C-alpha cells in the first residue's frame, strides 16, 4: 500500500497514531473473507449446533424442571432391584389349564410366552402379506412418474390416512368394531402396513432411473405393462427388502397392540402390568428382545439376497454374527 | 416417390419457451431413409430425438408422424436412449421381450408365442444368446448396447430413434450391430434417425448427415464451413 499511500485520506487511531483508511478497509475485507471462509467450511456443523440450541430452548420453554433428573439414578436402582430383577421365568412354563399335550421336553410350547409370541408372529406375517398385496397397487397409483396427478394425489391421500394413526390406535378401533382377539390385531397391522409400506414403495418407484420408463413409453407400452413389465422388475429388490423390513417392524409393533386386547404377547404383558408383576413383564420383554435380535439377523441375511452387493458376495451367517477378526480365523 | 414419415415445421424444441434449444426447425425424413445428426455436446440432439419420440412436448410449431398429427402408435416407434433404458435387474430375455410385445400382443394380454420367437431371434442376431438369462447389471457396457438394439429389432418398428447406440462397442461388434440395424432398415423400408458423434461413421452409415449448431439443423457438406464445424466437433470430443 506504500505506493498508493499518498492518495489515501489520513485519520488518527485511539492512541493518536496516524493510520490510513486504506489499511482499515483492507483489514475489514480480510476479516470478512476469513469469516465467510469459516462459515462456508463449517456451515453444516454450525447449522447442527444451531438446531441443538433451538431444541434446548424449546425444551426449556415447556418448563421441564431439570431438578427431577437428580433422583433418576436412585429411582432406577430401586425399581430394578425391588420390582424387575430377577425375572420370573414361570412365563415359559406350561399353563395349568388347558392341559398341555406336548411331549415332556416341549412343555414350554404350552406357556403363555410361547403362545403369545407365536400369535404375534402370525399376526405380523399375515398383516405384512395382506398389507403388501394392497399397498403395491396403491403405490403404483401414487407414483408421480407413473400416474397423473389426479390419480397420484388421491392415492397418496389414502396412504397418508392409513399411516397417520399409529397401529395401536387402529387396534383400539378394530377392538371396538369387531371385538377382542387376533383378528383385530391383523386388521390394525394391515391398515398401518398399507400406509407405511405404500409410502416406502412409491418413493422407491419414483426413485428408479427414468431411462427404462422413457424407452417403454416411447415404444407405446400402456400403464399396466409399464407397471408390471418395467417398474416391478426394476424396483423388485428394493420392494422385497422393504417387505422384509416391514415384517420385522410389524412384529415389534405386534407386541404393543396386544395391550389394547388385539392378541399376541402384548395381552399378557398388559395383564401382568395391571397386577404390578413387573418381574414377569421383564421376562416377556427379554424374550421379545431375543426374538427381535434373531429376526434382525434373519432380516439382514434375507435382504442381502435382494441387494446389488449380494451379487458380488453374499454375507454368510457367520459374517453377521461374528466380528471380522474371528471371521478370518473361521474362514481359514 | 418416398413418403414423409417425420415432418417438423417451424418447430421450437427445448424446455424453456424463452430460451429454446432449437428454433424454427424444419425437417422432413422419408420412409426408408437413414439420417444421422451430429453436433456439439449440449446443443439439443437428444432433446430433438426425445421430442420426436413424444417424451418432451414441443414448445412451438407442428410435428406429424406418418402424416398424423399425433404421437406414434403402439410399437410404431423404437427408441434407444443414450443410457439405453434397460431394466437393470431384469434378464436380457425380459428386456428384449418388452420390445417384441409392443407389436405382437395387446397391452392387457401380454402373452404371445410370436413375441417369444422374435425375442429369441433378436437375441441370437446380436450374439448374446449365452447371456439370455443374465440380469442386465451383470453385463458389460457393450453387451448392454447389444441388448438395447435387440429390443428395438424385436419390436420391428417403422421408425428407429437411436441416441449414440454404437458407443462402447469394439470395431468388430460395432460393424456387426450396424449392419444388422441397417439391414433391418433397408429390408423393412423403415426409417432410422441416429445421433452420432463420430462424423466419419455417421457419413458411412447415413443417407443424410445433418449438423445441429446454433439451434439450426444444416446438411453436412464438405466445404470449408462444414470442415470448421467438423474440426470444432473433433476438438470438443477430443478425437
Q: What is the ipTM of this complex?
A: 0.84
**Cell numbers describing residue A149:** 396427478
Please, what is the Cα angle at B238 between B237 and B239, to 5 degrees? Answer: 90
The answer to whether residue A76 sits within a structural domain is: no
Average model confidence (pLDDT) across chain A: 81
| Shared-domain flag, residues A44 and A122 | no
Task: Give residue-wise pLDDT tens across range A94-147.
Answer: 777 777 777 777 777 888 888 888 888 998 999 999 999 999 999 999 999 888
Given CB atoms, is A22 within the 8 Å cutoff of chain B?
no
The answer to whether residue B17 sits within a structural domain is: yes
Whether the predicted pLDDT of A48 surpasses 90: yes
DSSP state of A111: B
Please tell me which of the candidates A215, A225, A236 has its beta carbon nearest to residue B110.
Answer: A225
Q: Which domain holds residue B62?
A: 1-73+196-239
Q: Which domain holds residue A295?
A: 106-325
The answer to whether residue B82 sits within a structural domain is: no
Give residue A308's pLDDT band: very low, low, confident or very high (50, 70, 90).
Answer: low
Q: What is the DSSP string of A4-59?
A: GGGGSPEEE-TTS-EEEHHHHHHHHHHHHHHHHHHHHHTHHHHHHHHHHHHHHHHH
If one counts the domains in chain B, the total is 1
Task: Give residue-wise pLDDT tens across range B16-35.
Answer: 888 888 888 888 888 888 99
What is the CATH number for B203? 3.40.50.300
Whether the predicted pLDDT of A3 surpasses 50: no
- The minimum CA-CA distance between A221 and chain B, rounded to whole Å, is 7
Query: Following CA atoms B70, B76, B82, B84 in sequence, which dihedral angle do they give, to the nearest 10 degrees?
Result: 130
Task: Give residue-wise pLDDT tens across range B59-114.
Answer: 888 888 888 887 777 888 999 998 889 998 889 999 999 988 887 766 556 567 88
Domain edge (last residue) among A63, A95, A121: A63
- The minimum CA-CA distance between B163 and chain A, rounded to whole Å, is 12
The answer to whether residue A128 sits within a structural domain is: yes
Given CB atoms, is B58 within the 8 Å cutoff of chain A?
no
| Shared-domain flag, residues A34 and A171 | no
Task: Give residue-wise pLDDT tens across range B101-150.
Answer: 887 766 556 567 888 888 999 999 888 889 989 999 888 888 898 999 99
Q: Give whichever of A16-20, A194-198, B233-237 has the largest mean pLDDT.
A: A194-198
Task: State residue A78's pLDDT score.
Answer: 86
Please, what is the Cα angle at A308 between A302 and A309, to 5 degrees? Answer: 80
The answer to whether residue A82 sits within a structural domain is: no
| Distance, CA of B156 to chain centre | 13
Substitution target in A212, A219, A223 with the highest count of B β-carbons within 10 Å is A219
Q: Does the distance separating the beta carbons of A221 and B102 come in below 8 Å?
A: yes
Which residues in chain A have Cβ-Cβ distances shorter than 8 Å to B161?
218
Amino acid at each position: 500500500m506504500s505506493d498508493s499511500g499518498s492518495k489515501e485520506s489520513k485519520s488518527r487511531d485511539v492512541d493518536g497514531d496516524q493510520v490510513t483508511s486504506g489499511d482499515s478497509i483492507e483489514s475489514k475485507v480480510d476479516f470478512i473473507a476469513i469469516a465467510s471462509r469459516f462459515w462456508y467450511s463449517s456451515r453444516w456443523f454450525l447449522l447442527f449446533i444451531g438446531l441443538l440450541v433451538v431444541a434446548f430452548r424449546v425444551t426449556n420453554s415447556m418448563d421441564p424442571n431439570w431438578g427431577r433428573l437428580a433422583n433418576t439414578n436412585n429411582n432406577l436402582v430401586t425399581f430394578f432391584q425391588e420390582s424387575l430383577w430377577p425375572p420370573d421365568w414361570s412365563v415359559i412354563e406350561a399353563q395349568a389349564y388347558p392341559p398341555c399335550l406336548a411331549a415332556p421336553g416341549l412343555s414350554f410350547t404350552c406357556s403363555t410366552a410361547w403362545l403369545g409370541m407365536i400369535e404375534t408372529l402370525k399376526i405380523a406375517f399375515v398383516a405384512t402379506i395382506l398389507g403388501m398385496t394392497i399397498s403395491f397397487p396403491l403405490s403404483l397409483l401414487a407414483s408421480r412418474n407413473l400416474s397423473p396427478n389426479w390419480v397420484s394425489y388421491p392415492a397418496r391421500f389414502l396412504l397418508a390416512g392409513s399411516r397417520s394413526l399409529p397401529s395401536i390406535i387402529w387396534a383400539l378401533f378394530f377392538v371396538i368394531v369387531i371385538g377382542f382377539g387376533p383378528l383385530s390385531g391383523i386388521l390394525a397391522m394391515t391398515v398401518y402396513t398399507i400406509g407405511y409400506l405404500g409410502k416406502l414403495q412409491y418413493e422407491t418407484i419414483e426413485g428408479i432411473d427414468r431411462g427404462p420408463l422413457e424407452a417403454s413409453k416411447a415404444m407405446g407400452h400402456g400403464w399396466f405393462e409399464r407397471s408390471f413389465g418395467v417398474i416391478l422388475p426394476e424396483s423388485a429388490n428394493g420392494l422385497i427388502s422393504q417387505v422384509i423390513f416391514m415384517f420385522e417392524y410389524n412384529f415389534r409393533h405386534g407386541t404393543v397392540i396386544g395391550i389394547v386386547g388385539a392378541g399376541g404377547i402384548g395381552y399378557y404383558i398388559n395383564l401382568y402390568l395391571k397386577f404390578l408383576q413387573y418381574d414377569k413383564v421383564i421376562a416377556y420383554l427379554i424374550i421379545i428382545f431375543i426374538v427381535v435380535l434373531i429376526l434382525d439377523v434373519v432380516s439382514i441375511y434375507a435382504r442381502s439376497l435382494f441387494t446389488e452387493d449380494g451379487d458380488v458376495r453374499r454375507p454368510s451367517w457367520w459374517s453377521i454374527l461374528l466380528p471380522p477378526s474371528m471371521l478370518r480365523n473361521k474362514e481359514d | 416417390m418416398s413418403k414423409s414419415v417425420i415432418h417438423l415445421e417451424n418447430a421450437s424444441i427445448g424446455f424453456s419457451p424463452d430460451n429454446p434449444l432449437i428454433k424454427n426447425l424444419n425437417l422432413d425424413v422419408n420412409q426408408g431413409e437413414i439420417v444421422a445428426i451430429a453436433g456439439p455436446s449440449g446443443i439439443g440432439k437428444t432433446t430433438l430425438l426425445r421430442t420426436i419420440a413424444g417424451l418432451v412436448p414441443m414448445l412451438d410449431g407442428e410435428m406429424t408422424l406418418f402424416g398424423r398429427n399425433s404421437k406414434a402408435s403402439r410399437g410404431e416407434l423404437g427408441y434407444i436412449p443414450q443410457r439405453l433404458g434397460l431394466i437393470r435387474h431384469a434378464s436380457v430375455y425380459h428386456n428384449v421381450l418388452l420390445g417384441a410385445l409392443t407389436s405382437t400382443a395387446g397391452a392387457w394380454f401380454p402373452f404371445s408365442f410370436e413375441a417369444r420367437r422374435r425375442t429369441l431371434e433378436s437375441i441370437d442376431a446380436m450374439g448374446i444368446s449365452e447371456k439370455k438369462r443374465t440380469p442386465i447389471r451383470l453385463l458389460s457396457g457393450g453387451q448392454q448396447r447389444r441388448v438395447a438394439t435387440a429390443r428395438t429389432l424385436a419390436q420391428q418398428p417403422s421408425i428407429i430413434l437411436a441416441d449414440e447406440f454404437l458407443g462402447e462397442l469394439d470395431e468388430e461388434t460395432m460393424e456387426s450391430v450396424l449392419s444388422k440395424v441397417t439391414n433391418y432398415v433397408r429390408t423393412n423400408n423403415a426409417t432410422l434417425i441416429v445421433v452420432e458423434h463420430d462424423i466419419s461413421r455417421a457419413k458411412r452409415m447415413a443417407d443424410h448427415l445433418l449438423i445441429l449448431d446454433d439451434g439450426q439443423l444444416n446438411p453436412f457438406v464438405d466445404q470449408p464451413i462444414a470442415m470448421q464445424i467438423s474440426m470444432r466437433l473433433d476438438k470438443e470430443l477430443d478425437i
